[in-house]
């Protein structure tokens, strides 16, 4: 472990020496037990200087005072069980707290409930099935809700995905059901879609198959960009008219190209980041909006996600598929466990001529973050950075699982470090994006002041690989949500980054300081 620690410190010192900022952990708090979803998503309210944390373990929203970020203190909890099965998302704006709540029957309509910063009920409205994420618009006049609409496990009920738009012009205490409008995808049921948009659920039309995951709102609060994770797409929504105006297919990443390499095996007992004849399906989870020099961009954390239900699963190992002999003349070699044999890929894409063998292999996620123009043209992808940088920092813990220490390389066959959480913030005259790696853990920081020329700034990981996750001695595990707090809104006037860690049940507060 001495070599591991030394390697990490050398990397971090090199990064700081060439960066404008650095992240430094200043505080943290535990909200529950191990691997129970006790800290999934956090939202900061600048008026009360409190954060509101989704705690699935207790079906609650925990209220935490961070007026002193070094000493966060739990004040109370909002119990969610009277409103539904569990909370999935929370956001805060000017003393108003909005919570997305899943129905006891997940295929039925969910609920959004509004509270004040003391946890007192204000109002509630019904939204679509499985509200998975919500956000206030920048002007605070609306709340947008991504209704994922997942099917039941038998795939006999498959609700339509949608985005609910809640009008707050009368105040959160006066919200009525008539203030809710819904942007649906039914207009695309008969449309010819970009071929990289995956519509593949059994017997599902387009509106049923599309599953909204995460929302970013433009600076002027007029447009929303919504990830459709399983579908490998982004929807563009006209907020004022509650209308989906465009579906953007994100294409695929070519892992046979230098710069896009991956470690594809959990059985080769080494770090082996190499080129392979595999395509990556971007399938972003989080998304953020940024405007620079008169241009609009959206940024995605390309986590990847598979459909895996009792009645339908798209997952397979490469070694269990029949590969087309023309496309893969060396299939026997590729199917070895130390090569591609154990890589998790989809069965739903890649058999181009429907003859039972696969001409192409498609793996879930892209192990990267990307920057896209507002029209959906990729202008930057971080390529193989996340695996390469984390391997240099933690060679003995590379591609670890988030729930177990001593799990070297166990995630290489399935999405690698798994970038999931993402936030964008401006401080000290520059713009940065912060990406959370769900598996090995930690935060990647990039300077995106020039969106076409991002620069890696820092990788910080507050996980303790010598500890025991079940005994809560392993630090912060499984970053699920990130929120940037500007200097103006910060309780200390230092920009902050708030990270909620699903596996460890901890909330971490980082101070962002200038280094030059």
Distance of CA 447 to the CA centre of its chain: 19
Q: Are 432 and 21 in contact (CB under 8 A)?
A: yes
Q: What is the pLDDT of residue 20?
A: 86
CA distances from 451 to 239, 371, 372, 389, 425 (A): 25, 7, 9, 21, 13
How large is the greatest C-alpha to C-alpha distance in the chain, in angstroms? 66
pLDDT of residue 206: 98
| Mean pLDDT across 120-145 | 98
Asked if residue 78 lies in contact with residue 64, where contact means CB atoms within 8 angstroms, the answer is no
> DSSP assignment, residue 318?
G
Structure tokens at 192: 């010819």
The residue ranges of DSSP E strands in 368-472, in sequence order, are: 368-373, 378-381, 419-427, 430-437, 443-447, 455-460
Q: Report the pLDDT averaged over residues 11-20.
A: 47
Residue 3: predicted pLDDT = 32
Dist. CA 291–CA 284, nearest whole Å: 20
Q: Can you tell me whether residue 133 is helix, strand or coil?
A: strand
- What is the model's pLDDT at position 305? 98
Cα separation values, 40 from 28, 30, 85, Å: 14, 12, 15
Name the percent of the chain in helix, strand, coil, to the closest 5. Answer: 10, 40, 50
Q: What is the mean pLDDT of the chain?
A: 95
Average pLDDT over residues 484-506: 98
Q: How far apart are CA 426 and CA 58, in angstroms?
A: 34
How does pLDDT run across 443-470, given as a tens digit for each residue? Answer: 999 999 999 999 999 999 999 999 999 9
Collapsing DSSP to helix, strand or coil, 2 comes out as helix
pLDDT at site 6: 32
- Give mean pLDDT, residues 77-101: 98
What are the φ/ψ torsions at residue 10 (nearest 5 degrees)?
A: -65, -45
Task: Give the Cβ contact number of residue 117 at 10 Å.
Answer: 18
Mean pLDDT in residue range 109-127: 98
Least confident span in 13-22, 39-48, 355-364, 466-475? 13-22
pLDDT at 17 over 60: no
The CB density around residue 119, as the number of other CB atoms within 10 Å, is 18
- Distance between CA 83 and CA 143 in Å, rounded? 18
pLDDT 10s digits, 228-282 = 999 999 999 999 999 999 999 999 999 999 999 999 999 999 999 999 999 999 9
Handedness of CA 159, 316, 345, 305 (dihedral sign): positive
Tell me the pLDDT tens digit for each residue of 191-221.
999 999 999 999 999 999 999 999 999 999 9
> How many whole angstroms from its chain centre is CA 246?
22
143 - beta bridge partners?
136, 166
Identify the pLDDT of residue 490.
Answer: 98
Q: How far apart are CA 405 and CA 31, in angstroms?
A: 21
For residues 151-162, average pLDDT:
98
pLDDT score of 513 more than 50? yes
User: How do strand 86-93 and strand 42-45 relate by DSSP bridges?
Assistant: unpaired
Label residues 7-41 b or e (16+ Cβ within 10 Å = b).
bbeebbeebbeebbbbbebbbbbbbbebbebbbbb
- CA pair distance 364, 347, nearest whole angstrom: 11
For residues 148-172, give the mean pLDDT.
98
- Find the mean pLDDT for residues 1-9: 33
* pLDDT (0 to 100) of residue 163: 99
Q: What is the pLDDT of residue 516?
A: 73
Identify the CA nearest to 371 among candidates 358, 382, 356, 387: 382
Residue 11 has a pLDDT of 39
Give CA torsion, residues 368, 371, 374, 379, to 10 deg.
-110
Structure tokens that stand for 80 in this block: 């969610």
What is the spatial order of strands in the sheet that 60-65 belongs to?
42-45, 50-55, 60-65, 73-79
Q: What is the pLDDT of residue 19?
A: 64
**Over 90: is that where the pLDDT of 1 sits?**
no
For residues 25-42, give the mean pLDDT. 96
Question: Do residues 84 and 103 touch, judged by C-beta distance below 8 A?
Answer: yes
Q: Please report which confidence band the pLDDT of residue 427 belongs to, taking 50, 70 and 90 as the band edges.
A: very high
Per-residue pLDDT, 159: 98
How far apart, in whole angstroms, are the C-alpha atoms of residue 84 and residue 68? 33
Q: CA-CA distance, 104 to 98, in Å (whole number)? A: 19
Using one digit for the tens of pLDDT, what is the confidence trace for 335-362? 999 999 999 999 999 999 999 999 999 9
Cβ-contact 144, 137 below 8 angstroms: yes
């Amino acid at each position: 472990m001495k070599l591991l620690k030394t390697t990490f410190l050398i990397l971090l010192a090199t990064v700081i020496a060439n960066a404008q900022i650095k992240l430094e952990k200043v505080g943290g708090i535990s909200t529950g037990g191990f691997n129970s979803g006790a800290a999934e998503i956090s939202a900061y309210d600048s008026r009360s200087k409190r954060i509101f944390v989704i705690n699935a373990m207790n079906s609650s929203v925990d209220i935490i005072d961070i007026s002193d970020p070094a000493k966060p203190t739990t004040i109370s909890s909002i119990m969610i069980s009277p409103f539904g099965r569990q909370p999935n998302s929370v956001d805060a704006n000017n003393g108003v707290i909005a919570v997305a709540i899943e129905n006891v029957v997940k295929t039925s309509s969910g609920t959004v409930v509004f509270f004040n910063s003391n946890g007192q009920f204000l109002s509630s409205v019904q939204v679509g099935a499985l509200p998975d994420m919500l956000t206030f618009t920048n002007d605070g006049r609306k709340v947008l809700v991504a209704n994922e609409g997942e099917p039941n496990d038998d795939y006999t009920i498959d609700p339509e995905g949608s985005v609910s738009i809640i009008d707050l012009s009368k105040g959160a205490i006066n919200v009525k059901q008539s203030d809710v409008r819904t942007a649906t995808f039914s207009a695309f049921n008969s449309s010819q879609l970009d071929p990289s948009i995956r519509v593949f659920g059994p017997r599902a039309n387009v509106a049923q198959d599309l599953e909204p995951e995460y929302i970013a709102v433009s600076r002027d609060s007029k447009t929303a960009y919504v990830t459709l994770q399983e579908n490998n797409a982004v929807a563009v929504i006209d907020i004022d008219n509650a209308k989906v105006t465009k579906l953007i297919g994100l294409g695929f990443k070519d892992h046979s190209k230098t710069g896009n390499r991956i470690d594809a095996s959990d059985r080769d007992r080494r770090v082996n980041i190499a080129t392979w004849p595999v395509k990556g399906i971007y399938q972003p989870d989080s998304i953020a909006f940024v405007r620079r020099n008169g241009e609009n961009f959206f940024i995605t954390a390309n986590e990847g996600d598979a459909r895996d239900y009792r009645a339908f699963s798209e997952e397979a190992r490469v070694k269990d598929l029949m590969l087309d002999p023309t496309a893969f003349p060396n299939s026997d070699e590729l199917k070895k466990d130390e090569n591609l044999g154990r890589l998790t890929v989809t069965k739903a894409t890649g058999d181009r001529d429907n003859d039972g063998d696969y001409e192409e292999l498609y793996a879930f996620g892209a192990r990267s973050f990307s920057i896209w123009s507002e029209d959906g043209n990729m202008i930057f992808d971080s390529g193989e950075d996340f695996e390469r940088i984390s391997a240099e920092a933690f060679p003995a813990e590379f591609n670890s699982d988030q729930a177990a220490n001593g799990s070297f390389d166990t995630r290489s066959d399935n999405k690698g470090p798994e970038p999931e959480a993402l936030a964008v913030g401006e401080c000290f005259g520059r713009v940065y994006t912060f990406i959370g790696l769900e598996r090995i853990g930690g935060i990647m920081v990039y300077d995106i002041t020039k969106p076409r020329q991002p620069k890696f700034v820092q990788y910080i990981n507050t996980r303790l690989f010598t500890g025991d996750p079940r005994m809560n001695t392993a630090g912060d595990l499984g970053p699920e949500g990130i929120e940037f707090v500007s200097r103006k809104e910060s309780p200390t006037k230092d920009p902050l980054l708030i990270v909620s860690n699903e596996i460890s049940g901890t909330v971490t507060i980082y101070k962002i300081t200038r280094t030059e």
